[in-house]
Structure 1
Amino acid sequence: MSSPCDPRHAPAGDVSTGLMMIDSRLKAIYDGRTGADPEQQALVQQFTASLTSKDFRELLDGTCTIIFMFMTWLRQAYEAHDKDVVEYVVPDIVTTLRAMPRSVRPEAVPTMAGLVVAAATGLSPNLWRRQYGEWTEEEMNALEATAFLLAEHINRLADDRDFATRLIAEALAGAEAD
Protein backbone atom coordinates (compact mmCIF):
# COMPACT_ATOMS: atom_id res chain seq x y z
CA MET A 1 0.00 0.00 0.00
CA SER A 2 1.38 3.38 -0.98
CA SER A 3 1.80 6.07 1.66
CA PRO A 4 0.59 9.63 1.11
CA CYS A 5 4.13 10.56 2.20
CA ASP A 6 5.74 8.49 -0.56
CA PRO A 7 8.58 10.54 -2.12
CA ARG A 8 7.14 9.88 -5.59
CA HIS A 9 4.29 12.25 -4.70
CA ALA A 10 6.55 15.01 -3.38
CA PRO A 11 7.65 18.06 -5.33
CA ALA A 12 11.44 18.27 -5.61
CA GLY A 13 11.47 22.03 -5.15
CA ASP A 14 14.45 24.32 -5.61
CA VAL A 15 17.24 21.91 -4.72
CA SER A 16 19.93 24.08 -6.33
CA THR A 17 19.27 27.10 -4.11
CA GLY A 18 18.93 24.92 -1.01
CA LEU A 19 22.26 23.28 -1.83
CA MET A 20 23.91 26.65 -2.40
CA MET A 21 22.78 27.84 1.04
CA ILE A 22 24.00 24.66 2.76
CA ASP A 23 27.32 24.77 0.93
CA SER A 24 27.78 28.43 1.88
CA ARG A 25 27.26 27.59 5.57
CA LEU A 26 29.63 24.64 5.39
CA LYS A 27 32.36 26.72 3.80
CA ALA A 28 31.94 29.46 6.41
CA ILE A 29 32.27 26.99 9.27
CA TYR A 30 35.19 25.15 7.67
CA ASP A 31 36.94 28.48 7.08
CA GLY A 32 36.68 29.17 10.80
CA ARG A 33 34.00 31.84 10.58
CA THR A 34 31.74 30.89 13.45
CA GLY A 35 30.17 34.31 13.89
CA ALA A 36 27.74 35.79 11.45
CA ASP A 37 29.56 37.44 8.55
CA PRO A 38 27.75 40.79 8.11
CA GLU A 39 28.25 40.79 4.35
CA GLN A 40 27.02 37.19 4.03
CA GLN A 41 24.08 37.95 6.32
CA ALA A 42 23.13 40.98 4.22
CA LEU A 43 23.22 38.91 1.03
CA VAL A 44 21.04 36.20 2.56
CA GLN A 45 18.57 38.80 3.85
CA GLN A 46 18.47 40.47 0.45
CA PHE A 47 17.94 37.11 -1.23
CA THR A 48 15.18 35.98 1.13
CA ALA A 49 13.44 39.36 0.85
CA SER A 50 13.29 38.86 -2.93
CA LEU A 51 11.53 35.49 -2.63
CA THR A 52 7.88 35.28 -3.53
CA SER A 53 5.71 32.89 -1.52
CA LYS A 54 6.00 30.40 -4.41
CA ASP A 55 9.80 30.76 -4.41
CA PHE A 56 9.85 30.25 -0.66
CA ARG A 57 7.73 27.07 -0.94
CA GLU A 58 10.09 25.83 -3.66
CA LEU A 59 13.09 26.45 -1.38
CA LEU A 60 11.39 24.62 1.50
CA ASP A 61 10.59 21.67 -0.76
CA GLY A 62 14.14 21.69 -2.14
CA THR A 63 15.64 21.66 1.34
CA CYS A 64 13.40 18.74 2.29
CA THR A 65 14.48 16.92 -0.88
CA ILE A 66 18.11 17.44 0.14
CA ILE A 67 17.38 16.12 3.63
CA PHE A 68 15.73 13.06 2.07
CA MET A 69 18.73 12.48 -0.19
CA PHE A 70 21.18 12.91 2.68
CA MET A 71 19.24 10.48 4.86
CA THR A 72 19.00 7.96 2.02
CA TRP A 73 22.79 8.07 1.61
CA LEU A 74 23.32 7.85 5.37
CA ARG A 75 20.88 4.93 5.69
CA GLN A 76 22.75 3.01 2.99
CA ALA A 77 26.13 3.84 4.55
CA TYR A 78 25.07 2.72 8.02
CA GLU A 79 23.28 -0.38 6.75
CA ALA A 80 26.47 -1.41 4.94
CA HIS A 81 28.01 -1.68 8.43
CA ASP A 82 24.94 -3.35 9.98
CA LYS A 83 24.03 -0.18 11.87
CA ASP A 84 20.75 1.69 12.20
CA VAL A 85 20.83 5.22 10.79
CA VAL A 86 18.19 6.42 13.25
CA GLU A 87 20.26 5.24 16.20
CA TYR A 88 23.40 7.00 14.98
CA VAL A 89 22.09 10.17 13.34
CA VAL A 90 18.94 11.32 15.15
CA PRO A 91 20.44 11.65 18.67
CA ASP A 92 23.33 13.66 17.22
CA ILE A 93 20.95 16.01 15.38
CA VAL A 94 18.68 16.45 18.42
CA THR A 95 21.58 17.08 20.80
CA THR A 96 23.13 19.66 18.51
CA LEU A 97 19.84 21.45 17.80
CA ARG A 98 19.09 21.60 21.53
CA ALA A 99 22.53 23.16 22.08
CA MET A 100 21.52 26.05 19.78
CA PRO A 101 18.69 27.74 21.74
CA ARG A 102 19.37 31.20 20.30
CA SER A 103 19.01 29.94 16.72
CA VAL A 104 16.68 26.97 17.09
CA ARG A 105 13.50 27.21 19.14
CA PRO A 106 13.09 24.22 21.49
CA GLU A 107 9.62 23.46 20.14
CA ALA A 108 11.07 22.96 16.64
CA VAL A 109 13.48 20.21 17.74
CA PRO A 110 10.90 17.38 17.96
CA THR A 111 9.62 18.32 14.50
CA MET A 112 13.13 18.11 13.06
CA ALA A 113 13.68 14.76 14.78
CA GLY A 114 10.45 13.47 13.23
CA LEU A 115 11.41 14.91 9.85
CA VAL A 116 14.77 13.11 9.92
CA VAL A 117 13.17 9.84 11.06
CA ALA A 118 10.58 10.16 8.27
CA ALA A 119 13.35 10.59 5.71
CA ALA A 120 15.33 7.71 7.24
CA THR A 121 12.34 5.41 6.80
CA GLY A 122 11.83 6.39 3.17
CA LEU A 123 9.10 8.98 3.59
CA SER A 124 9.14 12.41 2.02
CA PRO A 125 10.08 14.93 4.72
CA ASN A 126 8.00 17.73 3.19
CA LEU A 127 4.89 15.55 2.78
CA TRP A 128 5.39 14.15 6.28
CA ARG A 129 5.55 17.70 7.69
CA ARG A 130 2.57 18.96 5.68
CA GLN A 131 0.23 16.49 7.32
CA TYR A 132 0.66 18.53 10.53
CA GLY A 133 -0.13 21.90 8.96
CA GLU A 134 1.86 24.72 7.49
CA TRP A 135 5.49 25.36 8.31
CA THR A 136 6.01 27.86 11.10
CA GLU A 137 8.51 30.67 11.18
CA GLU A 138 10.12 29.05 14.24
CA GLU A 139 10.92 25.97 12.16
CA MET A 140 12.87 27.76 9.42
CA ASN A 141 16.20 28.06 11.29
CA ALA A 142 15.76 24.51 12.59
CA LEU A 143 15.21 23.18 9.06
CA GLU A 144 18.30 24.98 7.75
CA ALA A 145 20.36 23.76 10.71
CA THR A 146 19.13 20.19 10.22
CA ALA A 147 20.14 20.15 6.55
CA PHE A 148 23.52 21.65 7.47
CA LEU A 149 24.10 19.13 10.28
CA LEU A 150 23.28 16.21 8.00
CA ALA A 151 25.70 17.53 5.37
CA GLU A 152 28.40 17.94 7.98
CA HIS A 153 27.73 14.43 9.31
CA ILE A 154 28.16 13.01 5.80
CA ASN A 155 31.34 15.02 5.25
CA ARG A 156 32.80 13.66 8.50
CA LEU A 157 31.92 10.06 7.55
CA ALA A 158 33.45 10.50 4.11
CA ASP A 159 36.41 12.48 5.48
CA ASP A 160 35.80 14.99 2.70
CA ARG A 161 34.54 18.54 3.33
CA ASP A 162 32.79 18.71 -0.04
CA PHE A 163 31.35 15.22 -0.24
CA ALA A 164 27.74 16.05 0.74
CA THR A 165 27.56 18.99 -1.65
CA ARG A 166 29.08 16.91 -4.44
CA LEU A 167 26.64 14.07 -3.71
CA ILE A 168 23.63 16.32 -4.36
CA ALA A 169 25.27 18.24 -7.23
CA GLU A 170 26.05 14.99 -9.04
CA ALA A 171 22.49 13.75 -8.50
CA LEU A 172 21.18 17.03 -9.95
CA ALA A 173 23.49 16.77 -12.94
CA GLY A 174 22.35 13.18 -13.51
CA ALA A 175 18.69 14.20 -13.28
CA GLU A 176 19.20 17.03 -15.77
CA ALA A 177 20.98 14.67 -18.17
CA ASP A 178 17.96 12.32 -18.12
Structure 2
Amino acid sequence: MASVCDPKYAPAGDVSGALMVIDSRLKAIYDGGREIDPEQRQLTDQFAASLGPRGAHDLLDGACTIIYMFMTWLRRAHEDHDKDVIEYVVPTLVASMRMMPKSIRPEAIPTMAGLVVAAGMGLSPSLWRQQYGKWTKEEMNPLEATAFLLAEHINRLTDDREFATRLISNALSKAEGA
Protein backbone atom coordinates (compact mmCIF):
# COMPACT_ATOMS: atom_id res chain seq x y z
CA MET A 1 0.00 0.00 0.00
CA ALA A 2 1.38 3.39 -1.01
CA SER A 3 1.98 5.92 1.75
CA VAL A 4 0.25 9.30 1.76
CA CYS A 5 3.77 10.62 2.41
CA ASP A 6 5.13 9.15 -0.82
CA PRO A 7 7.34 11.80 -2.49
CA LYS A 8 5.48 11.39 -5.78
CA TYR A 9 2.54 13.22 -4.14
CA ALA A 10 4.66 16.07 -2.75
CA PRO A 11 5.13 19.45 -4.39
CA ALA A 12 8.79 20.14 -5.20
CA GLY A 13 8.46 23.79 -4.28
CA ASP A 14 11.07 26.44 -4.96
CA VAL A 15 14.17 24.25 -4.86
CA SER A 16 16.32 26.89 -6.59
CA GLY A 17 15.40 29.55 -4.03
CA ALA A 18 15.97 27.21 -1.09
CA LEU A 19 19.31 26.16 -2.57
CA MET A 20 20.34 29.81 -2.91
CA VAL A 21 19.66 30.37 0.81
CA ILE A 22 21.54 27.21 1.85
CA ASP A 23 24.47 27.95 -0.45
CA SER A 24 24.82 31.51 0.88
CA ARG A 25 24.94 30.14 4.46
CA LEU A 26 27.55 27.55 3.50
CA LYS A 27 29.72 30.19 1.84
CA ALA A 28 29.45 32.43 4.89
CA ILE A 29 30.60 29.62 7.18
CA TYR A 30 33.38 28.49 4.86
CA ASP A 31 34.50 32.11 4.53
CA GLY A 32 35.82 32.05 8.08
CA GLY A 33 32.48 32.00 9.84
CA ARG A 34 32.08 35.70 9.33
CA GLU A 35 28.66 37.24 9.05
CA ILE A 36 27.23 37.21 5.52
CA ASP A 37 28.52 40.25 3.68
CA PRO A 38 26.04 43.15 3.73
CA GLU A 39 25.39 43.00 -0.01
CA GLN A 40 24.61 39.27 0.14
CA ARG A 41 22.35 39.81 3.17
CA GLN A 42 20.52 42.61 1.33
CA LEU A 43 19.95 40.37 -1.70
CA THR A 44 18.69 37.55 0.51
CA ASP A 45 16.41 39.93 2.43
CA GLN A 46 15.05 41.37 -0.83
CA PHE A 47 14.43 37.86 -2.11
CA ALA A 48 12.57 36.89 1.07
CA ALA A 49 10.51 40.10 1.03
CA SER A 50 9.49 39.51 -2.60
CA LEU A 51 8.11 36.04 -1.94
CA GLY A 52 4.69 36.70 -0.48
CA PRO A 53 2.72 33.93 1.26
CA ARG A 54 2.63 31.54 -1.73
CA GLY A 55 6.31 32.05 -2.44
CA ALA A 56 7.22 31.45 1.20
CA HIS A 57 5.25 28.19 1.15
CA ASP A 58 7.03 27.17 -2.07
CA LEU A 59 10.37 27.93 -0.41
CA LEU A 60 9.40 25.66 2.51
CA ASP A 61 8.51 22.86 0.10
CA GLY A 62 11.79 23.49 -1.73
CA ALA A 63 13.76 23.13 1.52
CA CYS A 64 11.93 19.87 2.25
CA THR A 65 12.71 18.62 -1.25
CA ILE A 66 16.38 19.40 -0.70
CA ILE A 67 16.33 17.59 2.66
CA TYR A 68 14.77 14.59 0.89
CA MET A 69 17.41 14.69 -1.86
CA PHE A 70 20.27 15.00 0.63
CA MET A 71 18.94 12.11 2.71
CA THR A 72 18.46 9.97 -0.41
CA TRP A 73 22.07 10.60 -1.37
CA LEU A 74 23.24 9.93 2.20
CA ARG A 75 21.14 6.75 2.43
CA ARG A 76 22.72 5.38 -0.74
CA ALA A 77 26.21 6.36 0.40
CA HIS A 78 25.70 4.67 3.77
CA GLU A 79 24.14 1.55 2.22
CA ASP A 80 27.28 1.16 0.08
CA HIS A 81 29.12 0.64 3.39
CA ASP A 82 26.38 -1.51 5.00
CA LYS A 83 25.48 1.30 7.39
CA ASP A 84 22.10 2.72 8.38
CA VAL A 85 21.75 6.38 7.44
CA ILE A 86 19.42 7.10 10.34
CA GLU A 87 21.84 5.60 12.86
CA TYR A 88 24.78 7.60 11.53
CA VAL A 89 23.24 10.92 10.46
CA VAL A 90 20.40 11.70 12.87
CA PRO A 91 22.38 11.64 16.15
CA THR A 92 25.05 13.94 14.69
CA LEU A 93 22.38 16.27 13.32
CA VAL A 94 20.53 16.42 16.65
CA ALA A 95 23.78 17.04 18.54
CA SER A 96 24.61 19.90 16.17
CA MET A 97 21.16 21.43 16.60
CA ARG A 98 21.45 21.25 20.37
CA MET A 99 24.60 23.38 20.11
CA MET A 100 22.62 26.11 18.31
CA PRO A 101 20.17 27.30 20.99
CA LYS A 102 19.91 30.84 19.56
CA SER A 103 18.74 29.56 16.18
CA ILE A 104 17.01 26.34 17.16
CA ARG A 105 14.76 26.13 20.18
CA PRO A 106 14.87 22.71 21.85
CA GLU A 107 11.19 22.02 21.12
CA ALA A 108 11.85 22.26 17.36
CA ILE A 109 14.55 19.59 17.36
CA PRO A 110 12.18 16.57 17.47
CA THR A 111 10.27 17.91 14.47
CA MET A 112 13.45 18.46 12.47
CA ALA A 113 14.74 15.00 13.46
CA GLY A 114 11.38 13.60 12.34
CA LEU A 115 11.73 15.32 8.96
CA VAL A 116 15.14 13.78 8.48
CA VAL A 117 14.02 10.33 9.60
CA ALA A 118 11.03 10.53 7.23
CA ALA A 119 13.32 11.49 4.36
CA GLY A 120 15.80 8.76 5.34
CA MET A 121 12.97 6.24 5.07
CA GLY A 122 12.02 7.48 1.61
CA LEU A 123 9.05 9.61 2.69
CA SER A 124 8.37 13.21 1.75
CA PRO A 125 9.42 15.50 4.61
CA SER A 126 6.82 18.13 3.65
CA LEU A 127 3.95 15.61 3.53
CA TRP A 128 5.15 14.02 6.77
CA ARG A 129 5.17 17.45 8.45
CA GLN A 130 1.79 18.40 6.96
CA GLN A 131 0.16 15.67 9.07
CA TYR A 132 0.81 17.78 12.16
CA GLY A 133 -0.61 21.09 10.98
CA LYS A 134 0.79 24.24 9.44
CA TRP A 135 4.39 25.28 9.72
CA THR A 136 5.06 27.68 12.57
CA LYS A 137 7.26 30.74 12.47
CA GLU A 138 9.43 29.10 15.13
CA GLU A 139 10.22 26.24 12.73
CA MET A 140 11.66 28.40 9.94
CA ASN A 141 15.21 28.76 11.32
CA PRO A 142 15.36 25.09 12.36
CA LEU A 143 14.23 24.01 8.88
CA GLU A 144 16.89 26.13 7.23
CA ALA A 145 19.48 24.86 9.72
CA THR A 146 18.49 21.25 9.05
CA ALA A 147 19.04 21.63 5.30
CA PHE A 148 22.28 23.53 5.93
CA LEU A 149 23.60 20.92 8.40
CA LEU A 150 22.84 18.09 5.98
CA ALA A 151 24.62 19.96 3.18
CA GLU A 152 27.63 20.58 5.40
CA HIS A 153 27.64 16.91 6.46
CA ILE A 154 27.68 15.83 2.81
CA ASN A 155 30.44 18.31 2.01
CA ARG A 156 32.56 16.93 4.88
CA LEU A 157 31.95 13.33 3.77
CA THR A 158 33.05 14.12 0.24
CA ASP A 159 35.80 16.55 1.27
CA ASP A 160 34.33 19.02 -1.22
CA ARG A 161 32.82 22.31 0.01
CA GLU A 162 30.55 22.57 -3.02
CA PHE A 163 29.45 18.96 -3.46
CA ALA A 164 26.01 19.30 -1.83
CA THR A 165 25.16 22.42 -3.83
CA ARG A 166 26.37 20.78 -7.03
CA LEU A 167 24.34 17.65 -6.22
CA ILE A 168 21.11 19.66 -6.17
CA SER A 169 22.10 21.94 -9.07
CA ASN A 170 22.86 18.93 -11.26
CA ALA A 171 19.54 17.32 -10.36
CA LEU A 172 17.73 20.57 -11.23
CA SER A 173 19.55 20.76 -14.57
CA LYS A 174 18.59 17.18 -15.40
CA ALA A 175 14.97 17.81 -14.42
CA GLU A 176 14.78 20.91 -16.61
CA GLY A 177 16.28 19.00 -19.53
CA ALA A 178 13.82 16.12 -19.21
Q: Which residue of 1 aligns with 2:94?
A: 94
Structure 2 SS opposite 1:33: coil
Structure 2: distance between partners of 1:113 and 1:10: 19
Could you tell me how far 1:48 is from its partner in structure 2?
1.4
Please tell me whether the aligned partners of residues 119 and 125 of structure 2 are also in contact (alpha carbons under 8 angstroms). yes
Could you tell me how far 1:145 is from its partner in structure 2?
0.3
Q: Which residue of 2 aligns with 1:81?
A: 81
Could you tell me how far 1:47 is from its partner in structure 2?
2.1
Could you tell me how far 1:51 is from its partner in structure 2?
1.3
Paired amino acid for 1:150 = L
Query: 1:120 and 2:147 equivalent?
Result: no
Query: 1:14 and 2:14 equivalent?
Result: yes
Q: Which residue of 2 aligns with 1:43?
A: 43
Taking structure 2 as the reference length, the TM-score comes to: 0.96
CA RMSD of aligned residues (A): 1.1
Please tell me whether the aligned partners of residues 79 and 85 of structure 2 are also in contact (alpha carbons under 8 angstroms). yes
Q: Which runs of 5+ in 2 are unaligned?
A: none
Q: 1:56-96, CA deviations, whole angstroms, 9 ceiling, x for partnerless residues?
A: 11100001000000000000000100011001110111111
Structure 1: distance between partners of 2:50 and 2:40: 15
Q: 1:5-62, CA deviations, whole angstroms, 9 ceiling, x for partnerless residues?
A: 0000000000001111111111111111343544433332332122111101110000
Structure 2: distance between partners of 1:154 and 1:68: 13
Structure 1: distance between partners of 2:104 and 2:139: 8
Please tell me whether the aligned partners of residues 25 and 36 of structure 2 are also in contact (alpha carbons under 8 angstroms). no
Structure 2: distance between partners of 1:45 and 1:105: 23
Q: Which runs of 5+ in 1 are unaligned?
A: none
Paired amino acid for 1:151 = A
Taking structure 1 as the reference length, the TM-score comes to: 0.96
Could you tell me how far 1:172 is from its partner in structure 2?
0.5
Q: Which residue of 1 aligns with 2:154?
A: 154
Structure 1: distance between partners of 2:54 and 2:134: 14
Percent identical residues: 70
Please tell me whether the aligned partners of residues 70 and 164 of structure 2 are also in contact (alpha carbons under 8 angstroms). yes
Structure 1: distance between partners of 2:140 and 2:147: 11
Structure 1 SS opposite 2:11: coil
Q: Which residue of 1 aligns with 2:30?
A: 30
Structure 2: distance between partners of 1:4 and 1:52: 28
Structure 2: distance between partners of 1:145 and 1:26: 11
Superposed, 1:131-146 pairs within 5 Å as 131-146=131-146
Structure 2: distance between partners of 1:113 and 1:105: 13
